């Protein structure tokens, strides 16, 4: 049976690292928003304008879903590492999955702010291509921090919370 997993968490929680490991474990195709945004739009970004970014994120979401839908129809597993900052973003994919008779699983990664900042700094320094798409500056980290909406129990009914407390 096909699975759709939505990985969410604040900046630096370890979403991409978690996603890579889970994909190996369950044989899933992973889509991550960072390389899509970096490749398609980074040269056009002149400032941190949330509305500008979200409009482009949504364009990527549409294209990613077109491919995901095909994989799911073939009984494949799909993992979406798309940031999912807002509940409304997650709900879009939960409803799309329901239309395919699939219960989307929300996997929420929770980590303390100091741990996340340390991870981001380490990722920026190491630039490991498996998890690094672009430098996350302190300004970017702080810009995104208040925007993340923690999933509630209803969102997590088919998913789980992963508590990450170390680097």
pLDDT in tens, 14-55: 888 899 999 999 999 999 988 888 888 878 877 767 788 888
Structural domains of the chain sorted by starting position, each given as residue range(s) with its CATH number in brackets = 4-163 (3.40.50.300)
**CA-CA distance, 26 to 110, in Å (whole number)?**
22
Query: Comparing C-alpha atoms, which of 38, 2, 1, 4 is closest to residue 19?
Result: 4
The alpha carbon of residue 125 and the mean position of all alpha carbons in its chain are separated, in whole angstroms, by: 21
Digit-coded pLDDT (tens) for 74-117 = 999 999 999 898 999 999 999 999 999 999 999 999 998 788 88
Max CA separation in the chain (angstroms): 44
Q: What share of the chain is helix, strand, coil (3-state, %, to 5)?
A: 50, 15, 35
**CA-CA distance, 117 to 167, in Å (whole number)?**
10
124 — pLDDT class (breaks 50, 70, 90): low
**CA-CA distance, 115 to 66, in Å (whole number)?**
35
Q: Got the DSSP string for 102-120?
A: --PEEEEEE--HHHHHHHH
What predicted TM-score, i.e. pTM, was given to this entire model?
0.83
Residue 53 neighbours by CB under 8 Å, 6+ apart: 37, 45
């Amino acid at each position: 049976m096909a699975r759709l997993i939505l990985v969410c968490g604040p900046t630096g929680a370890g979403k991409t690292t978690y996603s890579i490991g889970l994909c190996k474990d369950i044989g899933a195709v992973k889509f991550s928003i960072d390389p899509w945004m970096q490749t398609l739009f980074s040269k056009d970004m002149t400032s941190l304008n949330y509305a500008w970014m979200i409009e482009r994120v949504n364009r990527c979401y549409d294209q990613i879903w077109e491919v995901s839908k095909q994989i799911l129809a073939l009984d494949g597993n799909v993992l979406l590492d798309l940031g999912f900052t807002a509940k409304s973003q997650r709900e879009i994919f939960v409803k799309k999955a329901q239309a395919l008779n699939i219960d989307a699983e929300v996997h929420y990664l929770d980590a303390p702010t100091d741990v996340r900042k340390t991870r981001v700094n380490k990722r920026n320094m190491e630039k490991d291509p498996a998890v690094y798409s672009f430098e996350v500056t302190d300004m970017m980290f702080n810009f995104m921090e208040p925007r993340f909406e923690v999933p509630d129990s209803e969102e997590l009914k088919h998913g789980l919370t992963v508590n990450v407390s170390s680097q």
